[in-house]
Amino acid sequence: MSEKSVEEKLTVKTLLWVVVLSIVLTVFWDAFTLLLPNVAFCTQNVSNLIPAFGVELMGIPFLMLLFSMGLIRIQTLRKHITTTNLSILYVTTLAVAYFANTSLPWGYHAGLIFTRLFSAEEQMRYVPEFIVPPRDVALLLYRGAGLGVVPWATLIPEIIWHFLLMALFGGVSIGLASIFRRQWVDVEILPFPQVLLAYTCLVNVESSVKPNWPSKMPFLIGMLFGLLLVAPVSAVTLFPWFPDILMWRTNTCGHGAHQLTFPDIPWHLPVPKYIPLYVFMLLIPLHLLGSIVFYVLVMEIAVFTSFYAFGYYTSMLQQGFCGRSWCLPNFFSDPPLNLWSVNTGNMLGLFVITVLMQRRYILDTLKAAFGKTGKNQEEPLPYRTSWLILLTSFMLLIIFFITSGFSPWASIVMPLVGIITWFTFAQLWGRLGFMVSPDETIAPGPTRLLLWPTLSWPTITSQDLALVPYITEAWIGHQSITGWGGSLYAVLGSYKMAKLTGTNPRNLLKVAVISLFISMFVTKVAQEVLLSIVGASKFTFPTIKATAIDVDRWGCFWGRPSPRPIVEATPWILVGFIFMVVMRYLYSRFLW
């Protein structure tokens, strides 16, 4: 494939196909995911190919590319299945996948609708009905009363509010990705392993009808091995009589890892047994894998030393396997290690040092955007437009929160934390292809530092206290597939694919924007239409995570990175911050 972008006009007909495909795929995958049997929810959902938490390898683009491999063998269709059209298909399906999956519009997003059914009335009086529907309307959706019974006029404001919550940060993502496109894609040439996988698939789709198909045997053998590796997992979850080859029915976490619980030692690490994860790791640069292994070893030495030498964390032995890492108190949340607080400092440090190290590039983009002598960098979006989109979307998001009833300061903090979170994790996604969980490592910490530095497990007495924890833990900083992060990844993915295939990046940006905004809106409408027909009461965790407003997401927010007032964790946050700044500087000097 040529690295030089092809100047090819995007036709109205193509854009209409993008619109139709975005609508159809969003509705289909929303329905498919909702109706999956609970036992198959993690392993057969297609939207998340590798269930390991933080990987979030979106499966819909790969499925559609493989479907194209069949269509390209039809002579009349072959001329339409070009590099450009396959790139458009990839970007469209990637955008859809981030908004039609197991976590969005289901999981906590669907669960929020029903919080009035499970929460005390004095708590929910701080929650507007255009954010969470009235109790009687929520009850109709919970029971599946039917399309004709649900008062849609009451739900329209709620649908619009949730669409704007995602769409306005989508604008932030478009501006942010367009500003840093040249630095990350052209200069640093970040590998973007997930996009590289899709590109390899795309190349083989095109090559499959050519006389000379250089990678035919490796590609087909890889497909066969993939089928053979995944088939036992699917079979063992769907058919009780199938032999449990991978011990999937025994001591398995939801993300596909084997639990190893030793009664006398503080062991807490699972062993991934979903083999495609190991295959995916082959794409990651070796020095980064070595770094991961090294710091995990350091963590384990610290945990065992704290346990045996100083008598900390002895209650771990009374917990089940998952409780050793998740139930408080533990070494992540409590002294002397406080690793979640250290990680919060790490991520804040990564954000700050990245901005400082790229300050010249940022200043150059500002000069190009607003200076009289700025050079035209031939970007998909002019820097002036990118900066205006970023700043305007940020301001509109603040205004949106203020007019929704949040305090002005909270309305500034939430978008700011969103930018810090996903700008930082875009670095990990571009280099590693996966990330750690933002709701443990970054999002709650800065939010609590800026809003409630001295509070711990408060009583709900305002809209900020009622909803900021839920929005932070479900939209802003949970996973890339839960709202804000996916829009940034989709735009960055379109730019990387344009670079790899030589497709005009401006065209793929248009496709990404159209697909993103359509999917954001359609997925919310599909969510409530499907619930009105089927009823949420038929589904349990994790399909629909319906709880009281002060449970689950609330507990995660106030328990992470520390269950005590966040100001008490400041020393650990500073240690993590300083360590990351120093190590990132040394890394950039000697390794990257």
- Residue 560's closest CA among 465, 457, 441? 441
What are the tokens at 341? 């607080």
Encoding tokens for residue 360? 């010249």
Report the C-alpha gap between 543 and 540 in whole angstroms: 6
Torsion of CA 246, 230, 425, 487, to 10 degrees: -150
Q: How confident is the model at residue 436 (pLDDT cuts 50, 70, 90)?
A: confident
C-alpha dist (Å) from residue 139 to 108, 133, 144, 532, 552? 17, 9, 8, 10, 21
What pLDDT band is residue 1 in, cutting at 50, 70 and 90? very low
Token output for 408:
């002005």
| E strand or H helix that includes residue 354 | helix 339-357
Neighbours of 561 (CB within 10 A): 26
55 or 85: which leads in pLDDT: 85
244-299 pLDDT, tens per residue?
A: 888 888 888 877 888 888 888 999 998 888 888 888 888 888 888 998 999 999 99
Number of other CB atoms surrounding residue 393 within 10 Å: 22
pTM value is 0.94
Q: pLDDT > 90: what percent of the chain?
A: 72
pLDDT in tens, 534-544: 999 999 888 89
Q: Give mean pLDDT, residues 204-233.
A: 90
Structure tokens that stand for 365 in this block: 């983009």
Q: How far apart are CA 324 and CA 218, in angstroms?
A: 42
Q: Quick one: pLDDT at residue 178? A: 97
Residue 118: CB atoms within 10 A of its CB come to 15
pLDDT band at 5 (very low <50, low <70, confident <90, very high): low
Question: How high is the pLDDT of residue 552?
Answer: 87
pLDDT given at position 2: 45
Band of residue 470 on the pLDDT scale cut at 50, 70, 90? very high
What pLDDT shows up at residue 155?
97
Choice among 17-21, 126-130, 439-443, 568-572 with the minimum mean pLDDT: 439-443
Rounded to a whole number of angstroms, the CA Rg of the chain reads: 24
Question: Sign of the CA dihedral 232, 237, 243, 246?
Answer: positive
Q: Tokens 């997925």 label which residue?
A: 523
What digits encode the pLDDT tens for the residues 142-180?
A: 999 999 999 999 999 999 999 999 999 999 999 999 999
Mean confidence (pLDDT) of the chain: 92
